[in-house]
A and B are shown apart, each in its own frame.
Chain A
Amino acid sequence: MSRTFTEAAIAGIGATEFSKESGRSELQLAAECSLAACEDAGVNPADIDGMITFTIDNSDEITLARCLGVKDLAYTARIPGGGAAAAATIFQAMALVNAGVCKNVLVWRAMNERSQYRFGQNPTQGQMSYSAGNGTGSLLWCVPFGAMTPASWGALQTSRYLHTYGVSSRDLGQLAVQQRLYASTNPKAWFYGKPITIEDHQNSKWIQEPWLRLLDCCQESDGGQALLITSLERAKDLKQKPVKITGACQSIPYNVEVISNFYHDDLTIMPEAWGVAKRLYAQTGMKPSDMQAAMLYEAFSPHALMQLEAFGFCGKGEAKDFIKSGEIAIDGSLPINTHGGLLGEAYIHGMNSMAEGVRQVRGTSVNPITKRKVENVLVSSGIAGAILSAV
């Protein structure tokens, strides 16, 4: 492979089942989903030459490479920021292929985040320490005050937005209802066959009063999800319809951090998502109306609203009305999280939403967009995003 600019594409996606108790090791989940992504693409796992995951993934890359029989690894990296890393894995894999330094980049995330440990519970004594690279200093400055969970940090991060624009719990419920509707027809979703009503949402208990109810929060899940990224040229000769990575980037503006994001100037916006939008549209020459769908990382429901605004699908403070008017439904102007998202399908740290972006471009989603031809899908994890395109 010569080191000339090379277009990149997602050639394979693979996942384990999504559950509450996988019954096997995280390494096994990582190996299974990685193999599935390679088989989906028709790439021999031995030929993987780049491996990227999240800093907090517990599977060692070398150990995983030994499972897959990777014969000559050229590059490894880990991305900080918890789930914010999801779209960043695609960005960095794209950059490696673009630069001509890797041919087959595997990105994965696998965890027993329900049966082995739970992000939604108070940290244990052993977790009460600070380590760099986890993307948040929140433990340091929040824990002595009783803000011990991602939901508490998420509420502190988004309540100024909700307050300023008068976004009610019922407004947030509209998002949850739509995503659970998508999940209800997705056999891979934990909430398959279980749609909810707005009253179910309103009757669910407060997790963070008066902002986030149980049904505003992502699930806790066991499972693994992997993607295989290669050159567009090669992808065209592989098993699946290639999904071109038209553009991808990260953006971490000054004083922004993931989730415990309270120190930047204006808490009514997510500056990182605004930064991603600006960079992504500049990189591709595209605009919001060029997207037929979006997969937006929603650890908590307000994050989806704030990203709809950041990416210019509606104006500031208008996301609640955008959702209420049906724009995110399958026949709306911008269906989002059509697999059910992290609320409805599973919480595989956002990677399962990246896979749904691929499926919408391929035309293989269980909830396909039929009203218009899908040319471009935006995938975003807040501090990173990508535009996936049909070829």
Chain B
Amino acid sequence: MTEPTEAAPAAPAAPKPTRIAPIITTDAKSFWDAADREEFVGQKCGDCGKFTFPPRPMCPHCHSLNRVELQLSGYGTVHSYTIPRHPHPFGFKEAPIVAVIQLDEGIRFVSNVVGIAPDEVKMDMKVEVTFEPTMNKHKVPVFRPRSAK
């Protein structure tokens, strides 16, 4: 056990994340494991190559059980959004922007748009993935306005 010494005062502790941790099911575990590593992965069929979301054990197109997890571009657009005002969502200091993100790969993912004020969110705005911590030391993919590159 080590204790802080006078010579090296402890840095102020980062605030503890209050966002609720994801509910992890067996078939979606690889998705959330990747998110913990700040990787945004999608599920593609190992045989016919089509993307599916949410993750599932069988490809609905060719019934293959051969799943491939691969890195997604992390790019998408805001396909729909809402600001939950009442009740105030548990775990958020300010009401978040909740959005359905249309990913460039053609699948959709419910997430947050971060880094802008609620009145700045617009339908079809371009966004890119980033990550935020949750309780129980997990991370979830969220989206910020796409930076001009």
Tell me the A residues contacting B by CB distance below 8 Å. Answer: 120-122, 128-130, 137, 139-149, 151-152, 155-157, 159-160, 163, 205-212, 214, 254, 260, 262-263, 267
Chain B residues positioned under 8 Å from A139 (CB to CB): 23
Report which of B19, B21, B54, B91 forms a contact with A141, defined as CB distance below 8 A.
Answer: B54
Residue of A nearest to B111 (CB): A145
A129, B118: Cα distance in complex, Å: 29
A180, B61: Cα distance in complex, Å: 46
Report which of B23, B80, B95, B100 forms a contact with A143, defined as CB distance below 8 A.
Answer: B23
Chain B residues positioned under 8 Å from A260 (CB to CB): 110
Minimum distance in angstroms from A383 CB to a CB of chain B: 19
A122, B60: Cα distance in complex, Å: 33
B28 CB–A CB distance under 8 Å: yes
A156 and B54 contacting across the interface, CB-CB below 8 Å: no
B123 CB–A CB distance under 8 Å: yes
A-B contacts counted at CB < 8 A amount to 118
Report which of B20, B28, B98, B118 forms a contact with A152, defined as CB distance below 8 A.
Answer: B98
A155, B22: Cα distance in complex, Å: 21
Interface residues in B, total, Cβ within 8 A: 39
B147 CB–A CB distance under 8 Å: no
A262 and B90 contacting across the interface, CB-CB below 8 Å: no
A331, B88: Cα distance in complex, Å: 41
Minimum distance in angstroms from B69 CB to a CB of chain A: 17
Residue of B nearest to A210 (CB): B83
Write 30 A-B pairs (CB below 8 A) sorted by A numbering: A122-B90, A129-B23, A130-B23, A137-B54, A140-B23, A140-B25, A140-B54, A144-B22, A146-B89, A146-B96, A147-B89, A148-B90, A149-B87, A151-B84, A155-B80, A155-B82, A156-B99, A156-B100, A160-B80, A205-B86, A206-B83, A207-B85, A208-B82, A208-B85, A209-B83, A209-B85, A211-B82, A214-B86, A254-B60, A260-B110
A262 and B100 contacting across the interface, CB-CB below 8 Å: yes
B108 CB–A CB distance under 8 Å: yes
Known: A156-B110, A207-B86, A209-B85. A140 touches B28 (CB 8 A): yes
A382, B127: Cα distance in complex, Å: 32
Other than A152-B98, A263-B53, give 8 A-B pairs with Cβ distance below 8 A.
A122-B90, A140-B54, A145-B111, A148-B90, A155-B82, A155-B84, A262-B100, A267-B100
Report which of B21, B87, B99, B108 forms a contact with A120, defined as CB distance below 8 A.
Answer: B87
A121 and B87 contacting across the interface, CB-CB below 8 Å: yes
Report which of A128, A144, A149, A214 forms a contact with B84, defined as CB distance below 8 A.
Answer: A149
